[in-house]
Structure 1
Amino acid sequence: MDLEFILNIIEEGGYWALFLWLWLGIFGMPIPNELIVMTVGLATSQGVLNPILTFLVVYFGILTALTTIYALGHFLGRPLLRMFAKKNKFSKSIDKSLYLIEKYHAFSLSFSYFLPGVRNFVPFLYGSSRLPYKSFALFAYSGAFVWLLIMFTLGYIFGEEIDTIMQYGKELLLILGVCAAIFLSVKVVRKKRREKMQAS
Structure 2
Amino acid sequence: MELEFILDMIESNGYLGLFLWLWIGVFVFPVPNEVIVMTIGLATSLKVLHPSIAFISVYLGILAAMTTSYILGRLIGRPLLQYFQKRNKFTKVIDNSMKLMDKYHALSLSISYFIPGIRNFLPFLYGFSKLKYRTFALFAYSGALLWLAIAFPLGYIFGEHIEIIIAYEQEIFMVVGVIAIFYVLFKIRKHRRNMKKEKLETKDTLS
The alignment's TM-score, normalised by the length of structure 1, stands at 0.89
Q: Deviations over 1:108-136 (max 9, x none)?
A: 00111110110111111111111110100
Instruction: State the one-letter code of the partner of 1:75.
Output: L
Contact persistence 1:109–1:139 (CA under 8 A): yes
1:153-179 CA-to-partner distances (Å, cap 9, x unmatched) read 001111111111111113223434555
Q: What corresponds to 1:165 in structure 2?
A: 165
The residue aligned with 2:133 is: 133
Which residue of 1 is the match for residue 103 of structure 2? Answer: 103
CA–CA distance in structure 1, aligned partners of residues 45 and 129 of structure 2: 41
| Residues in 2 aligned to 1:118 and 1:19: alpha-carbon distance in whole angstroms | 21
**How many residues of Structure 1 are paired with residues of Structure 2 in the alignment?**
192
Larger Rg: 2
Gaps of 5+ in 2: 200-207
Letter in 2 for 1:112: S
TM-score normalised per structure 2: 0.86
Q: Alpha carbons of 1:183 and 1:109: their partners in 2 closer, same or farther (altered >3 Å)?
A: farther
Q: CA deviation at 1:95?
A: 0.4
Q: Which of structure 1's runs of 4+ aligned residues deviate more than 6 A?
A: none
Alignment of 1:1-200 (within 5 A): 1-179=1-179, 186=185
Rounded Cα–Cα distance in structure 2 between residues aligned with 1:182 and 1:66: 25
CA–CA separation in structure 1 for the residues paired with 2:63 and 2:50: 20
> Residues 150 and 173 of structure 2 are in contact (CA less than 8 Å); yes or no, is this contact kept in structure 1?
no
Kindly indicate whether the alpha-carbon contact (under 8 Å) linking 2:22 and 2:65 is maintained by their aligned counterparts in 1.
yes
